[in-house]
Structure 1
């Protein structure tokens, strides 16, 4: 074992095994408590998952009708959900007879739909008894799959929407509507592409599954380990090196994965001993780790699953969504970077000597091809490929480049030997194909359930009703409407995952902002960013809770520390809905609009946003050039809020206050350390 491997092993050994197990439990809360099957059952699940990945890779390149692709995608998802996730914890690590029955029903429902063809679709307003039966069965299977993968809340929310559709005439105004019979509701949910098989499942069956396969290829080719090693090597050795390592590694790890909790746990299990060594208190370390994990959901090139839905809802290219995320992502990590720099001065962190993994040059020379993974998708889109084809070819490129070294090869160099063929189930390529399908189950089940909600909202006109109510309560004020919308998204996000909260609020809350003149892309990005807050908001603060399990800190204190780290960046969404100049932070929403954009305006709003973030960071930390007093702290916070409001008067006032506070601190003699 090399010196750097011994160092890493020692760091990992310092993490209590029980803490890691606790962290894994938080991942299970997000992704479901999976079975650990053995023997032929494990082989069957692996084979089914590999076939699912192979089918979707083929569908990216070949031509598959939308109804066939979506229905087979859901059949694979349901079958694997019932095999991989138990009905209850006491039945874990085995497959019961009722699981097989549900798998059979999932296959039967899909077969009936595909065989029915256009005739079945055409009779959606007057469904036959068998149509209604299979439709009800499918709704029940989707609710059960969501319960197994995400818990009770999402199925309960979907059930409330179904009840709303059925009970319309008996509801009080303004929520009343004419009501719909079971047959009509089933016709929309099961027999058209507007309900369960609507936009959300379309995105799941095309983009999301392909990106999870791509992420699995990176994981099993060793890209994740390389990103960690590269970050440790580049940033270690100084008082701020530990924090900077977390910031850089969270971007490199999270960008391709798009998973907040997984990034937090992966990074925390290795980085916490280093944070502890330089002087981070447990809750502060957990807050920084979970804040870094949160960045995974808003960072290109993958973002979270909701980003793919934004592209589909707005009928824009995924490249445009990536473009809109660039400046907010830079500002998010700028805020984290400032927080880390202030931490080192505020807590008087000392230098710690770390055994470097390897030199940056040696790592880059040997594993340079892993950086292609971060840019290949964008490059393919820039040269004209669709998002689906871009991720397909990026996956192929990842497979090809992994073969450049024996230790990263997804296919063993001795694959042609009999012994290697007998171990085909252990090949990294097979594991990656399996991991790609298993990794999408939670999101895909949520997308299918979200289709129920979207179908009800479309059928009943609930979105327009809700937006009218919000605007009435806000008195027509855009600021108050934005505040109310943010609160609605946040409250919904307390109960359901990011993807689900975005979908729900995109159909019921976004119309309120759009009706008041906010461009569609800005309204949807506003909702997306506040949906992401569900990752750090109790009682579903999974990322901070997972970080607390690793550091041994208090979960709620860790959550508050995480809020401290991310709060400056989460005022940004108000900038791009309250004033047209603030939309420059989204680079005007598309490559086409950017071609004629006012670059001076974009630069101006970006700089003022950065100054506002710096003021808020200093205010929340209580440290600018040196420790602030109470008056200076509140002045900096007020200046940060003023700079977050896109108005030249607010900008001038905010900058003047920041300059005044810095001048006072500069002239006041005071020790630099705490």
Structure 2
């Protein structure tokens, strides 16, 4: 991966998609300002991990910085924009600062009048709501802001709605007060998660990437699975790379873009057409949102809603992630043979040498899990993992994030502060700041002297900028989702919709699960993963819980389907991004990605059909966990046979149908049905192999 240079050409390229946004390419001081705001977001979040800040003030100021960055880097219109910020953008930034400034300077007074705000508070709050909707529109498109606007109108015109969705209606002042003056609207749990966990993990991913870990994970996967020529070697390497890169990315689209850029030449050489290659990289990349330890933004919100630790969420996500990649693996193995892919090597590097020379990159990932188990909070565990990643980057000159004098300054100051009585984490934070400042000073001194500056400073600044920039669109999305959740709670709509879903399902758990899955799919194809999960958490989760589905299973169900919506027709961001790189048709690429992931759509259903499904979330006895995992894996194998149409050769229509029926039987929470399903799938495999060998012999 090419490292970002700290020159004007690179600063002009403030362009990184946040789920679906299209950013402008700034120049001059505007580019520096945007970069400074994004880096400031990263540093502000790091500061928050070490020093106490009033919750309301921190969330409000974070939203203010996010809005300013959004109006700088996301243009008013996605096409036809120049390379400069418009006057309207400066006006919107000024209005955002005015709204946030008033709120933070009148904090105590506003707490007492959330239900009856002053006129100025109604105006400023209404403006801030509109600004958040506009920032979200720029970052993710029209769908989510329009949905939020519809909910706001519903809150106002509730008395005119038909039964059972009517309510007394609320005044504009009451609606604005709920969202602006309390922690139950714009600044509710989704925004809190964005301002704490998401931004820190975004920075962590950027630090690992700029420190060389991202490229190492891809190189390592390619060396592991592609040393010997084999038809499935390229596909295996891409799937494994998607998982490893996803552990530090947390973004399906970003992982897809990276994978597609690096693997397309190899996939093309082995005989993959552009649409199939794009579908493969999209399917492998989208799994990043499911992969521990970073996961997607919604995973942090799961922890908040369930009031559990982030470590618990990581544990729950482990087997579902394995099942997702098992599905991709089986589909890739079948497709490689069906498409007659040429046996090629994916790497000439020695796995042993690669591991011994750069395997230390795994230590930072392991540190998160160890520190969480040790009892640290999620954001402190990631803080220390960032520190570890920075230290490890010093091992190789081309991966350093600090110059050696900067690292020495950081170490000296950390030791001095620690022995002066400061907490070790505070000392390490201030030491890193000092090390960064020394590195930056040396960078510009070398440039002033006409010497080539150390690229470590460039990588450090790039990591800070990318960490903040990667969170801007998600934070705006979370604030908008907070508006929707506040209206749902204010009007009681969530309970009404939940009741309607249960009634429509006739009290049947299986039917209700299918309805919820369909609703989640429709919702997820229109809006980003985080927002669709948040809305589902307050509408669809209660419906499943009312039918005795455990709350963790219900939340993971929604999260899983929100992720899968990113590869589902008619709008799928990851395949569209892959198609742009591989040169295939966006629609054909999307359908290929959907085909690769289609069997995985049954995995969330397995969580919820029976109490044993909690075993997939690593809850229950060892026997229960092992049995449900094996049962689910065999069911997935049946579905993959049906979707791919291949076992050792082309599968007949009867074999495909029988395999799918066997998979369905394996999902029934009754050992007799599961035994029947296992026998059916095994019989399909035996008959197919016998039939295929006879055909081969006859030739």
2:22 and 2:532 map into 1 onto residues whose CA distance is: 21
The one of 368, 374, 379 aligned to 2:365: 374
Q: Which moved more, 1:326-335 or 1:89-98?
A: 89-98
Look up the match of 2:42. Answer: 53
Equivalent in the alignment of 1:65: 54
Report the counterpart of residue 608 of structure 2 in structure 1: 577
- Distance, in Å, in 2 between the alignment partners of 1:162 and 1:540 is 26
User: What aligned pairs does 1:429-468 form with structure 2 within 5 A after superposition?
Assistant: 429-468=460-499
1:86 aligns with 2:75: yes
Q: Could you tell me the TM-score, scaled by structure 2's length?
A: 0.89
Query: What corresponds to 2:300 in structure 1?
Result: 308
Please state how far the C-alpha of 1:168 moved relative to its aligned partner. Answer: 0.6
1:522 aligned onto 2:545: no
- What residue in structure 2 maps to residue 267 of structure 1? 259
Name the CA shift for 1:336/1:355 in 2 (closer, same or farther; >3 Å).
closer
Q: Write out aligned runs for 1:152-231 (5 A).
A: 152-231=142-221
3-state SS in 1 of match to 2:375? coil
5+ residue gaps, structure 1? 9-23, 589-596
* CA-CA distance at 1:644 after TM superposition: 2.6
Per the alignment, residue 653 of structure 1 pairs with 676
Alignment pair present for 1:321 and 2:347? no
> Does residue 288 of the first structure (1) align with residue 288 of the second (2)?
no
Deviations 1:545-604 (A, max 9, x none): 22222233222222222122112222011111110011100112xxxxxxxx32111110
CA contact (8 A) 1:189 1:196 kept: yes
- SS of the equivalent of 1:44 reads helix
Measured after TM superposition, the shift of residue 411 of structure 1 is 1.5
* Residue 119 of structure 2 is aligned to residue 96 of structure 1: no
Q: Say whether residues 1:534 and 2:560 are aligned partners.
A: no
For the 8 Å contact 1:291–1:562, the answer to whether it is kept is: yes
The 10-residue stretch of structure 1 (545-554 or 439-448) with the greater mean CA deviation from structure 2: 545-554
The answer to whether structure 1 residue 36 and structure 2 residue 62 are counterparts is: no
Distance 1:129 1:238 in 2: 70
- Once residues 26 and 529 of structure 1 are traced to their aligned partners in structure 2, the CA distance between those partners, rounded to angstroms, is 28
Deviation at 1:277, TM superposition (A): 2.2
Q: Is the 8 A contact 2:635 2:663 kept in 1?
A: yes
Task: Assess, with a 3 A threshold, how the Cα gap between structure 1 residues 367 and 145 changes in structure 2: closer, same or farther.
Answer: same
Q: CA offset at residue 115 of structure 1?
A: 1.1
Q: CA-atom RMSD, angstroms?
A: 2.2
SS at match of 2:80: helix
* SS state at 2:136 partner: helix
Contact kept in structure 2, 1:287 and 1:547, CA below 8 Å: yes
Could you say if the C-alpha distance between residues 640 and 420 of structure 1 is closer, same or farther in structure 2, counting changes exceeding 3 Å?
Answer: farther
**8 Å Cα contact 1:345/1:672 also seen in 2:** no
Shift of 1:376: 1.9
- The Cα of 1:533 is off from its aligned counterpart by 2.1
- Does 2:692 correspond to 1:670? no
Note the C-alpha offset of 1:469: 0.7
**Runs of 4+ off more than 6 Å:** 24-27, 421-425
Measured after TM superposition, the shift of residue 539 of structure 1 is: 3.1
Q: Paired residue for 1:235?
A: 225
- Per mean C-alpha deviation after superposition, the further-off stretch among 295-304 and 530-539 is 530-539
Equivalent position of 1:474 in the other structure: 505
Q: What is the aligned length?
A: 644
- Aligned twin of 1:14: none
Identify the residue that residue 411 of structure 2 maps to in structure 1: none
* SS of corresponding position for 2:380: helix
Contact 2:179/2:187 (<8 A) preserved = yes
C-alpha separation between the residues in 2 aligned to 1:92 and 1:173?
Answer: 49
Secondary structure at 1:30's aligned position in 2?
coil
Q: Cα offset for 1:116? A: 1.1
Q: Distance in 1 between the 2:14 and 2:83 partners?
A: 16
| Alignment partners' CA distance in 1, 2:458 and 2:697 | 55
1:642 and 2:632 equivalent?
no
| 1:286-321 deviations in Å (ceiling 9; x for gaps) | 221111011111111111111111111111111111
Q: How does 1:566-605 map to 2 (within 5 A)?
A: 566-588=597-619, 597-605=620-628
Partner of residue 432, structure 2: none
Q: Structure 2: 5+ residue runs without aligned partners?
A: 3-12, 406-438
Does the Cα contact within 8 Å between 1:424 and 1:430 map onto a contact in 2? no
- TM-superposed CA distance for 1:59, in Å, is 0.3
**In 1, Cα distance between the equivalents of 2:592 and 2:15?**
18
Q: Quick one: structure 1 residues 192 and 493, their matched pair in 2 at CA, closer, same or farther if it must change by over 3 Å?
A: same
Shift of 1:380: 1.2
Q: Which residue of structure 1 lines up, in the alignment, with residue 640 of structure 2? A: 617
Change (3 A) 1:627 1:672: farther
Q: Distance in 2 between matches of 1:149 and 1:627?
A: 44
Q: Deviation of residue 421 (structure 1)?
A: 7.5
Alpha-carbon separation, structure 1, partners of 2:697 and 2:29: 64
Moved more, 90-99 or 182-191: 90-99
Change (3 A) 1:354 1:484: closer
